[in-house]
Amino acid sequence: MSEYVIEMLNITKEFPGIKANDNITLQLKHGEVHALLGENGAGKSTLMSVLFGLYQPEAGVIKKDGVEVKINNPNDANALNIGMVHQHFKLVEVFTVLDNIILGAEPNKMGFLQKAEARKKVIELSERYGLQVDPDAKIEDISVGMQQRVEILKMLYRDNDILIFDEPTAVLTPQEIDELMEIMRNFTKEGKSILFITHKLNEIMAVADRCTVLRKGKYMGTVNIKDTTKEELSRMMVGRDVKFEVDKAEQKLGDVVLDVQNVTVPSKIHANNAVKNVSFQVRAGEIVCLAGIEGNGQTQFVYALTGLDKMSEGKITLCGHDISNAKIRDRSKLGMSHIPEDRHKHGLVLDFSLEQNLVLQRYWQPEFQNKGFIRNKEVREYAEKLIKQYDIRSGQGPVTTARSMSGGNQQKAIVAREIDKVPDLLVAVQPTRGLDVGAIEYIHEQLVAQRDAGRAVLLVSLELEEVMSVPDRILVMYEGEIVGEFNPKEVTVEELGLYMAGAKNMYRDVGAKEQGKEREAE
Amino acid sequence: MKKGMISVLASVISILVGLLFGLLLLIVVNPAMAFPKFGELLTAGVSSLPKLAKVLYQAAPLVMTGLAVAFAFKTGLFNIGASGQYTVGAFCALACAIIFQMPWWICLIASLVAGAVWGFFPGLFKSLFNVNEVITSIMFNWIGMMAVNLLCMNLKNAAGQLVMLPTAWVSSPIKDRTAALSYANPSAMIPKMGLDRLFQSNYMNISIFIAALVAVLLWVVLNRTTFGYELKACGYNKNASIYAGINAKRNIVLSMVISGAMAGLGGGLYYLAGTADYTIQKALLPMGFNGISVALLATSNPIGTIFSALFISYIQVGGESLQPVYAKEMIDIIIAVIIYLSAFALLTKNIISKYIRTDKTNVNAEPVPPAAPVPAAETGAVDSGEVPEKTVESEGEDK
Ligand SMILES: Nc1ncnc2c1ncn2[C@@H]1O[C@H](COP(=O)(O)OP(=O)(O)OP(=O)(O)O)[C@@H](O)[C@H]1O
Ligand SMILES: [Mg+2]
């Protein structure tokens, strides 16, 4: 038997205006975790889509166990036991977890669904690998973490043993990431082989055996993780040294820009409130970070703040204007910018071109329209400026359809658009999600530049590294409440973790509450 | 390869496949006559000036209902109610002409407004209560048709005569259709500007030019204005448009209103020609549904609808020349097959773009503003013309 389960030899795949993969070779050993690293748009997702049969390469061969195979579509891939979790999940929102897992591989007797059988197998699998899911929950009601477990179960249900993970950790909380790493290790112990795309070097160092690096569609090399360092990997990928810390100048605090008073937001899923009585301020010249584990009300709070949803109580003031009930457009005019959490749901019109997306918040301004007619020339020039400044890579520049851009470059487009609006308040929710280390460095610099220019930034992040390095002040949210406020220089990650997990609360004695005693704090 | 080119190619291929299928059907039914008659089918539309006039005359309302459907598609809505909007538009145009004795252009505006109102309600229900516009507009098709029948048969003038029917104007036993404009109000007929003499046909008037003008206008609105940008943003991704501060609820209503207005105007254009009277209907008028084919064949490009409507009208006129060798039903089937396969333009487009190396994830994307639009289906209509042959003059009755 060949040493490699999968070999992709000299793969070339072109798109209009770009060679996404240029003569790339990747060899996957039995039972290894093989990381795939590269800048945004380097061609990682494309290469994996070729392996999964979504694209046909112009050149190159694929071998399974040393035998050349032709993979024309995902069904072929499936027959070769290749499964893939996509960068952007492919689940049917209104179907249940169980239905999604068996979709396309429904067990049946003479055409009649045998759901009981399927359910048994799914429950068995989920217990065996510690992939907790609720088989009867609808996809639209469950967290992204659980959605991902559904995607993994989908592969396992089909008995796949070559598993492709395209940026699985970008949407996960640190705890979930640890669990996923553990699950991956279990898989390899059983002889399954894993291809793992991530931008987080720590994860590669922790779980991968080998790593293949791509740059601008070209193959840069494959290294053994044992023999390398984070710094070396990032140099291989970006071609220069990358700073992992954020440099910040002395802080010059200005007036209050954002004043949030007693904001309460009802929950859509349960009877409780998702955000409970939250109050804080953000001043000009500071970056405040709303930290916490996913699902503790950050999303709902941001929805209320930006006008995507209504709050039931409280008051929000932006630069002295009461915006509690203001329209989204008015908030924007008053100086609010918003980098949304979900780039496909809110951030982009995927079927618009890149340039159309870059003016999504500004197309109505006199700069870009005249008596209701769009000024194409100005839009084009503006788009070209942002593309250059933020290094947004795509096949055809301004006219590229947003849908065809790589995930990270889609994110860069949103960030560019929102920062360039020159907001008084920038609400940045997970602004670096899915970005490569070089791009993260750049975005962090931009956030700090906003702060230094005397603007207010509200950063919402799940990323502990980001939480510790970027902001001037950290607010921890737990179950819809703010449970602590910290100076990042004076707090440890461990301490922060206790607050995020709800074990500590600055404003209330948690121990007492947990024991159910009537002891009031202070 | 340009996306626009692919659209055109896709439409042309679909048309060719449809025609081939039609030919096969002819061969199956009557092999001896199949080839000559097929030739006539293809050439009848340009065989004489009057035939061409008829093609243009029928194409005008088709362009409009096609635009109605295409515009709604572009903004993420499926307006299956074009038939009802068309009928209501036709009625209001005729009512203005016959009862109120208005000039033609006021009657046309009336049809536009009536169609808009008929589109408004499905839009409103969608926007306020999230009721699927397909369901509401199907119901409005029937409500519209029944209401129009009812009004035609019951509206009385001061003298107590049934004013919409011929009896109020001339001595006539006919009770199932509206009075002809030729005696009821000639000034309400769409001007012919000498075209009737040029084409030697009573059918010819300026309606096709009005329709083409509206199509161009709509293209400009969709592709050049902030309003069109907003409408398309809502259509492609409602959440993102809300995030961008666009009033999505308002836009859904507006979009249906404009779409309805297009269909309504189509009704006006057709019945104000003065060559066909509105007949009391038992089934929904097919013009609205043919609009769906027109829009699909044009891959929802407003300019493309001009050409796809011309094609469909052309093939309908050609179909008449198959009689009496082939039964009338046979002709309907063949035309339906051709139209049906034409509607696969979108599918064909996907297949083509799969083979021609291009970005396959966004075949439906709009041509980017500065790029010139490529009209779809143009070649389809012209390609099919061979050496003109003399054909038997067929019945001029429309309904
Ligand atoms: N379907 C497509 N049509 C046209 N261009 C495409 C398509 N898919 C990808 N591309 C282009 O190919 C390049 C590589 O994209 P790919 O998605 O593989 O990048 P990636 O390495 O996964 O990046 P990221 O880390 O941002 O996800 C990008 O420049 C992208 O614009
Ligand atoms: Mg990717």
**Quick one: average pLDDT of A321-327?**
94
* Interface ipTM: 0.86
pLDDT at A386: 96
CB of A332 less than 8 A from some CB of B:
yes
Contact B225 A374 (CB under 8 A): yes
A471, part of any domain: yes
Structural domains counted in chain A: 3
Instruction: Give the integer Cα–Cα distance in Å for B87 and B163.
Output: 18
Q: Which residues are A283's β-sheet partners? A: A256
Instruction: Give the integer Cα–Cα distance in Å for B182 and B194.
Output: 17
pLDDT at B381: 33
pLDDT over 70 at A522, yes or no: no
* More confident position, A215 or B4: A215
Q: Are residues A417 and A428 in the same domain?
A: no
Instruction: Give the integer Cα–Cα distance in Å for A14 and A20.
Output: 6
Instruction: Give the integer Cα–Cα distance in Å for B387 and B378.
Output: 18
A318, part of any domain: yes
**Quick one: average pLDDT of A30-43?**
94
pLDDT over 90 at B138, yes or no: yes
How confident is the model over B211-263, as pLDDT tens digits?
A: 999 999 999 999 999 999 999 999 999 999 999 999 999 999 999 999 999 99
pLDDT at A139: 87
**Quick one: average pLDDT of B183-201?**
90
Contact A352 B236 (CB under 8 A): yes
pLDDT over 90 at A504, yes or no: no
Q: Are residues A309 and A222 in the same domain?
A: no
pLDDT over 60 at A22, yes or no: yes
**Quick one: average pLDDT of A341-352?**
93
A498, part of any domain: yes
Q: Is A404 in the pocket of ligand 1 (CB under 6 A)?
A: yes
How confident is the model over A47-91, as pLDDT tens digits?
A: 999 999 999 999 999 999 999 999 999 999 999 999 999 888 888
* Residues near B180 by beta carbon (within 8 Å), at least 6 away in sequence: B166, B274, B277
pLDDT over 60 at A370, yes or no: yes
Q: Are residues A384 and A427 in the same domain?
A: no
Q: Is A21 in the pocket of ligand 1 (CB under 6 A)?
A: no
pLDDT at B342: 67
Q: Is A2 helix (H, G, I), strand (E, B) or coil?
A: coil
pLDDT at B104: 95
Q: Are residues A326 and A213 in the same domain?
A: no
How confident is the model over B325-377, as pLDDT tens digits?
A: 888 777 777 777 777 776 677 777 777 776 664 443 432 222 333 323 333 33
Instruction: Give the integer Cα–Cα distance in Å for A101 and A104.
Output: 8
How confident is the model over A187-238, as pLDDT tens digits?
A: 999 999 999 999 999 999 999 999 999 999 999 999 999 999 999 998 998 8
pLDDT over 80 at A497, yes or no: yes
Q: What phi and psi, each to the nearest 5 degrees, are found at residue B51?
A: -65, -45
pLDDT at B11: 79
* More confident position, A222 or B322: A222
CA-nearest residue to A328 within chain B is: B245
Instruction: Give the integer Cα–Cα distance in Å for B122 and B119.
Output: 6
Percent of chain A with pLDDT over 90: 67
A226, part of any domain: yes
Q: Are residues A296 and A351 in the same domain?
A: no
Contact A404 B369 (CB under 8 A): no
Residue among A213, A392, A406 whose CB has most ligand 1 atoms within 8 A, to mutate = A406
pLDDT over 70 at B378, yes or no: no
How confident is the model over A224-262, as pLDDT tens digits?
A: 999 999 999 989 988 888 777 788 888 889 999 999 999
Last residue of a domain, one of A238, A272, A294: A238
Determine the distance in angstroms separating the CA of A96 from the nearest CA of chain B, rounded to an integer: 23
**Quick one: average pLDDT of B158-166?**
85
Side-by-side strand order, sheet with A218-224: A67-69, A59-64, A4-15, A18-29, A218-224, A210-215, A33-38, A193-197, A162-166, A82-85
Q: Is A230 helix (H, G, I), strand (E, B) or coil?
A: helix
State how far Cα A472 lies from the chain centre.
Answer: 23
Determine the distance in angstroms separating the CA of B351 from the nearest CA of chain A, rounded to an integer: 14
A243, part of any domain: no
pLDDT over 50 at B393, yes or no: no
Q: Are residues A466 and A319 in the same domain?
A: yes
Q: Is A298 in the pocket of ligand 1 (CB under 6 A)?
A: no
pLDDT at A511: 53
* More confident position, A322 or A103: A322
Q: Are residues A317 and A374 in the same domain?
A: no
Percent of chain A with pLDDT over 70: 97
Whether pTM exceeds 0.90: no
A245, part of any domain: no
Identity of the amino acid at B348: T
pLDDT at B14: 79
- Concatenating the DSSP letter of every residue in A8-25 gives EEEEEEEETTEEEEEEEE
Nearest alpha-carbon partner for B212 in B46, B107, B62, B79: B62
Instruction: Give the integer Cα–Cα distance in Å for A402 and A405.
Output: 5
pLDDT confidence bin for A3, thresholds 50/70/90: confident
Q: Cα angle vertex B135, ends B133, B138, to 5°?
A: 100
Q: Are residues A32 and A152 in the same domain?
A: yes
Whether the CB-CB separation of A400 and A412 falls below 8 Å is answered with no
Q: Are residues A482 and A394 in the same domain?
A: no
CA-nearest residue to B233 within chain A is: A349
Instruction: Give the integer Cα–Cα distance in Å for B347 and A511.
Output: 63
Helices B248-271 and B104-129, interaxial angle, to 10°? Answer: 150
Q: Are residues A231 and A264 in the same domain?
A: no
Instruction: Give the integer Cα–Cα distance in Å for B51 and B56.
Output: 9
pLDDT over 60 at B396, yes or no: no
Tell me what the pLDDT averaged over chain A comes to: 90
Domain membership of residue A327 as a residue range: 252-335+423-522
Q: Are residues A392 and A429 in the same domain?
A: no
CA-nearest residue to B370 within chain A is: A376
Nearest to A329 among B236, B245, B359 (CB): B245
Closest ligand by atom to A39 CA: 1
pLDDT at B390: 33
pLDDT at B365: 29
Last residue of a domain, one of A422, A449, A471: A422
Q: What is the 3-state secondary structure (H, E, C) of A171-203?
A: HCCHHHHHHHHHHHHHHHHCCCEEEEECCCHHH
CATH number assigned to the domain comprising residue A153: 3.40.50.300
pLDDT confidence bin for A1, thresholds 50/70/90: low
Contact A356 B239 (CB under 8 A): no
Which residue ranges form the domains of chain B, and what is each CATH number? Answer: 49-314 (1.10.3470)
B362 vs A contacts (CB less than 8 Å): 350-351, 401, 403-404
* More confident position, A167 or B344: A167
A244, part of any domain: no
* More confident position, B372 or A159: A159
Nearest to B242 among A328, A373, A399 (CB): A328
Last residue of a domain, one of A422, A444, A476: A422
pLDDT over 70 at A512, yes or no: no
pLDDT at B385: 32
**Quick one: average pLDDT of A11-18?**
91
Instruction: Give the integer Cα–Cα distance in Å for A406 and A412.
Output: 10
A87 vs B contacts (CB less than 8 Å): none
How confident is the model over B264-312, as pLDDT tens digits?
A: 999 999 999 988 889 888 889 989 988 998 998 888 999 999 999 999 8
Identity of the amino acid at B172: S
Q: Are residues A357 and A437 in the same domain?
A: no
A340, part of any domain: no
pLDDT at A510: 60
Contact A373 B224 (CB under 8 A): yes
How confident is the model over B71-120, as pLDDT tens digits?
A: 999 999 999 999 999 999 999 999 999 999 999 999 999 999 999 999 99
